């Protein structure tokens, strides 16, 4: 059996694993204590019952913080997880039909409003089948009426104008 390879995460340096001789120290309240030798910084952290954690390695001397290592890891994971969920800027699709009723169009407008408030772009599609393809003007009016309904709820701007495609019409809108 092959083991699944775990993604390699950057190890956080704590206490004796920090390789710098001198560190810029921040205490548990967020107050800067200035430049201190590593041994003295570790001693202060142990004295308060916490760990010395290297926060950044890009600057010389590195910035270290006195805090609980478990809480630090928890905060990092929470921050990473929230970054995954707050994407925004995706392209969402709202599909209309040729014979859509006014109430259904309003319901879809409210759904589009939710997408736009998050920061997503919305592609409005109206698919045409069979004989419906002969009535392009009616379909175009349906989409424009939908956009007007949406505009009453939330001001929108067109990112891509109404475009005829082989299977119908589509346009992309965003929040103003």
pLDDT tens digit at each of 176 positions of the chain: 555 554 445 677 888 888 888 889 888 888 888 888 888 888 888 888 888 888 887 888 889 999 888 888 898 888 888 777 666 678 999 999 989 998 999 999 999 999 999 888 999 999 999 999 898 899 999 999 999 999 999 999 998 999 999 889 999 999 88
Task: State the average pLDDT for the chain.
Answer: 86
For 43-50, the CB contacts below 8 A with 24+ separation are: 45/15
Tokens of 111: 């759904």
Q: Are 123 and 85 in contact (CB under 8 A)?
A: no
Q: What are the chain's domains?
A: 15-83 (3.10.20.80), 91-175 (3.30.110.10)
The predicted structure's pLDDT at residue 2: 58
| CB neighbour list of residue 137: distance below 8 Å, 6 or more residues apart | none
Structure tokens at 105: 């169009």
Q: Are 92 and 121 in contact (CB under 8 A)?
A: yes
pTM exceeds 0.85 for this model: no
């Amino acid at each position: 059996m092959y083991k699944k390879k775990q993604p390699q995460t950057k190890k956080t340096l704590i206490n004796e694993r920090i390789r710098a001789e001198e560190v810029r120290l921040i205490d548990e309240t967020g107050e800067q204590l200035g430049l201190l030798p590593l041994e003295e910084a570790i001693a202060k952290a142990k004295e308060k019952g916490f760990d010395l954690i290297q926060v950044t390695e890009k600057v010389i001397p590195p910035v270290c913080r006195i805090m609980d290592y478990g809480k630090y890891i928890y905060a990092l994971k929470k921050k990473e997880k929230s970054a995954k969920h707050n994407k925004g800027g995706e392209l969402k699709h709202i599909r209309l039909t040729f014979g859509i009723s006014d109430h259904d169009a309003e319901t879809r407008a409210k759904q589009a409003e939710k997408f736009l408030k998050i920061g997503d772009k919305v592609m409005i599609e109206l698919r045409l089948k069979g004989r419906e393809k002969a009535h392009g003007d009616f379909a175009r009016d349906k989409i424009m009426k939908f956009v007007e309904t949406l505009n009453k709820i939330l001001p929108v701007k067109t990112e891509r104008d109404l475009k005829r495609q082989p299977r119908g019409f589509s346009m992309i809108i965003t929040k103003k």
